[in-house]
A and B are shown apart, each in its own frame.
Chain A
Amino acid sequence: MTKKNYITAALSLALAVAIMVYTGMNFLAARDLPWPEQGPSVTDIKLLSDWFPGLKDTNGDTWVYVLQGQKPGGKMLVLGGTHANEVSGYMSAFTFIETAVVEEGTVYVIPYTNHSAMTHNDPGEGNLQYFTLQTKSGARTFRYGSRATNPVDQWPDPDVYVHFPSGQQLSGSETRNINRGYPGREDGNLTEKMAYGVASLIRAENIDLTFDLHEASPEYPVINATVVHQNAIDIGSEGCMNLLLQGIDMALEQSPINFHGLTHRELGDHTETLAILMETANASQGRLRGATTLNQVLGGWDDCYVVSQKLNMLYVPWDENGHPIEERCGRHLQGIYEYSQAFNNAHPDTPIVYSGVPSYAELFTNADPATLGGAHLGSFLM
């Protein structure tokens, strides 16, 4: 080998190491997650491992915000970030924590239910890593994660995922999807342990009402929808009707008995909670989308979906106005309010009463259209 070759090899090696160091630092930085500020009713911040010690010192452990009211009452759990790429789910959780004034009962909020999934993303999808909003305290940066548990924490995937305890078989990649892992398993993989932790919290605290906040691609049939366990169908019916009365297009669906692992099925079957899941539309998750951009994620603005709508290929109306983050968070937050009101009507002795959380109208319909797409949502955050 000539001297010239040695120099070329050394330079190439140095470049490779530099790239490894840079990307490694970038990857590790994703573990430094932004968390909600303490809103007016936050009385305690605990770890999920306080309910299930098996999660302690793992990347599946996550913060649980406790908002205890002045008076006793019912108990409610809000799950954000079940899928860490479904932005309105965890941003609604942030907004609830930072704005809610709980008067009666106790509300538990988990911003990142699958904490591990928030510590990486799906670069093959061209997804963002971060986005920034101007809030009351200035610019704050938020994460955009992945649907599934970080493979660094749980790897490899089996060819076939066998759900516990039903024995249902799904694609191997679903083994890292926490919303196929409920009710969880004490000695299972990390995803099953996270699900077990949530179920343990529900059992220990006697949670009456559980919300799981999601987004889906516009091509997915169950969208702008609420899915309820059969035990929650009365509350779902009343709440859904009240949402429709306010002009919020919402379909009510009953959880299938033969599709296992999801919150609305397993938490209803294996705990005493009334389990409710809500879906909004996120353009950045769909197959027919254009380039993944910040405007697409936060504004829902995507010309490809305008064309797709004209071709009648979508399950949710789409035009040049898109579906901004304020609309999507507004749907979740108004949904939580209406379903909890329906719960209160059915359980007047143990109500869950709160105020201060921005309504759908405040977040979306009454907003200046020029501020939609993140700026208006940021104005409610601390």
Chain B
Amino acid sequence: MIKKISALLLAGALAFSLTACGKEDSVTPPGGNAPAASSGAASSGSGELTGLTEAFAEGPVLLTTGGQSADYQMVGTLMKNLGMEYELNNVATSADLGDAKTLVVVVGGSSKGLGAAGIDADGELARVDELIKGAEDAGLSIIVMHTGGSARRGDLSDKFIAPIFEKADYAIVVKSGDEDGLMAGICTNAGIPADMIDAISDVATVLPKAFK
């Protein structure tokens, strides 16, 4: 009799646990707790992604990477062609902010790039976090980009996306890298203006519009 009761109790507990497992958890959208944007840029913050409508940033620019992919180098080449005043530093910390008034972070993880910089992913994340905190304290505008497309998605790159995009005043994203809407979702929920572009070359069109 005791065995039967125990079996019934165990079966009941199992059924209860299955019900618990089957319950649909409420999903917190990525970036749901991100700080509100943005320094002068227009944004609705109402759940609809909006592009930038007003210039807010000033030079000079400190350009760095979030994840050590070489995408930041290509953005640097574009900025050079645009005649923008910038300093490029892939291992910058807050001590390197100097007289910069805008921080541009190009996000994309690369195991080869991390190797080239002699840093691991956690160390890179800590570096960028410290740099962004320093930029915020110094009142810099922060522009975040993801220009590497689908090639810069995956476990390594995704590790850098949310922590960095949540701190942006303005974001630029190549569409093919955001087919799952991760970055659009972060920007929408945090009210960060974002321009979704077709190719990295379109950075040359949208980026200058952010600068006064």
Contacts and interface: CB of A to CB of B under 8 A. Distances in A.
Nearest to B81: A238
A186 interface: no
Contacts of A222: 112
B95 interface: no
Given A245-B199, A245-B201, A249-B151, A254 B74 contact: no
A150 interface: no
Given A224-B151, A252-B70, A241 B112 contact: no
Contacts of B118: 257-258
Interface stretch (A10-18, A56-64, A226-234, A353-361): A226-234
B73 A233 contact: yes
Contact of A227 (B112, B149, B151, B199): B112
A233 B112 contact: no
A236 interface: yes
Interface in B93-132: 110-116, 118
Given A244-B200, A258-B118, A237 B112 contact: no
Contact of A237 (B76, B150, B154, B201): B76
Nearest to B156: A221
Interface of B: 68-71, 73-74, 76-78, 110-116, 118, 148-152, 154, 199-201
Contacts of B154: 221
Interface string A245-268: 100010111111111000000000
A117 interface: no
A225 to B, nearest CB: 8
A333 to B, nearest CB: 21
Nearest to A245: B201
Given A224-B151, A252-B74, A254-B68, 19 more contacts: A221-B154, A227-B112, A230-B116, A233-B70, A240-B74, A241-B77, A244-B199, A244-B201, A249-B149, A251-B152, A252-B73, A253-B110, A253-B113, A254-B110, A256-B114, A256-B116, A257-B115, A257-B116, A317-B150
A254 B74 CA distance: 12
B134 to A, nearest CB: 25
B111 A236 contact: no
A254 B118 CA distance: 12
A158 to B, nearest CB: 25
Question: Which 10 residue pairs across A and B have the least CB separation, nearest first?
Answer: A256-B115, A252-B70, A237-B77, A253-B112, A237-B73, A254-B116, A251-B151, A237-B74, A256-B116, A254-B70
A240 B201 CA distance: 11
Interface of A is mostly: mixed
A245 B76 CA distance: 16
Contacts of B151: 224-225, 249, 251, 315
B60 to A, nearest CB: 20
28 contacts: A222-B112, A224-B151, A230-B116, A237-B70, A237-B76, A238-B77, A240-B70, A240-B74, A241-B77, A241-B78, A245-B199, A245-B201, A249-B149, A251-B69, A251-B70, A251-B152, A252-B71, A252-B73, A253-B70, A253-B110, A253-B112, A253-B113, A254-B68, A254-B73, A254-B110, A256-B113, A256-B114, A256-B115
Contacts of A241: 74, 77-78, 200-201
Contacts of A225: 151
Contacts of A230: 116
A227 B113 CA distance: 10
Nearest to B71: A252
B79 to A, nearest CB: 11
Specify which of A230, A253, A258 lies most central, judged by the most chain B CB atoms within 10 Å of its CB.
A253
Interface in A312-326: 315, 317
B92 to A, nearest CB: 16
Contacts of A256: 112-116
Contacts of B150: 317
A300 B199 CA distance: 27
Contact of B69 (A249, A253, A255, A317): A253
B86 to A, nearest CB: 14
A318 to B, nearest CB: 13
Contacts of B114: 256
A276 to B, nearest CB: 12
B17 to A, nearest CB: 30
Given A245-B201, A257-B118, A251 B148 contact: yes
Contacts of A253: 69-70, 110, 112-113
Contacts of B70: 228, 233, 236-237, 240, 251-254
A220 B201 CA distance: 27
Nearest to B176: A249
A254 B151 CA distance: 15
Most buried by A among B73, B113, B114: B73
